[in-house]
């Protein structure tokens, strides 16, 4: 018996986005480039925010006069975020290393045609099993209470 796919707004957004990325990037090469750009943009943004937060924190340590714009983030909030972002940056770096391996793979035109063909079949299907499996990640991560206590 097939499990009913979740229809909450997060899941629906995920289904739509997942299918759009298959429809608009239906070849192996396009997926390689898309995912590479996605990892890099995520890394760039996290890296810049980390630098900015570090700058703010060290500025506070040396200067008591703060402008109003910077006061609404507490020192603890910044320190916590820096800890989290440090982990995220390390994970993203690992993903980038793996993506480089995937990037080395070249696919022949005949196989690329297969990718397009399967993409056509896959993207309009609202109950795509692979997508449902992927989306479990989205659901699990925010609610898992044991995740932090284990490690
Ligand atoms: Zn859901």
Q: 21 with 110: CB under 8 angstroms?
A: no
> pLDDT tens for residues 84-117?
999 999 999 999 999 999 999 999 999 999 999 9
Please tell me the distance between residue 101's alpha carbon and the centre of ligand 1 in angstroms: 32
The pTM of the full predicted model, rounded to 2 decimals, is 0.72
CA of 120 to the centre of ligand 1 (A): 25
Ligand 1 ion: nearby residues, β-carbon < 5 Å: 6, 8, 11
CA of 90 to the centre of ligand 1 (A): 28
The answer to whether residue 27 scores a pLDDT higher than 60 is yes
10 Cβ neighbours under 8 A, 6+ residues apart:
138, 139
Model confidence over 29-70: pLDDT tens digits? 999 999 999 999 999 999 999 999 999 989 888 876 655 555
C-alpha to C-alpha distance for 118 and 93, rounded to whole angstroms: 31
| pLDDT tens figures, 118-150 | 998 888 655 566 666 677 766 765 444 444 443
144 Cα to the center of ligand 1, angstroms? 15
Lowest mean pLDDT among 2-6, 71-75, 119-123: 2-6
């Amino acid at each position: 018996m097939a499990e009913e796919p979740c229809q909450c707004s997060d899941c629906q957004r995920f289904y739509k986005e997942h299918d759009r990325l298959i429809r608009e990037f239906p070849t192996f090469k396009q997926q390689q480039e898309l995912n590479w750009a996605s990892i890099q943009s995520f890394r760039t943004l996290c890296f810049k925010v980390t630098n900015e937060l570090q700058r703010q924190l060290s500025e506070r340590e040396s200067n008591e006069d703060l402008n109003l714009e910077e006061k609404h983030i507490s020192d603890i909030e910044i320190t916590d975020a820096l800890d989290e972002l440090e982990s995220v940056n390390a994970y993203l770096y690992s993903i980038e290393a793996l993506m480089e391996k995937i990037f080395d793979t070249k696919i022949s035109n005949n196989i690329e045609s297969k990718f397009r063909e399967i993409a056509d079949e896959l993207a309009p299907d609202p109950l795509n099993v692979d997508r449902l499996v992927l989306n479990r990640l989205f659901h699990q991560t925010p609610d898992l209470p044991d995740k932090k206590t284990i490690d």
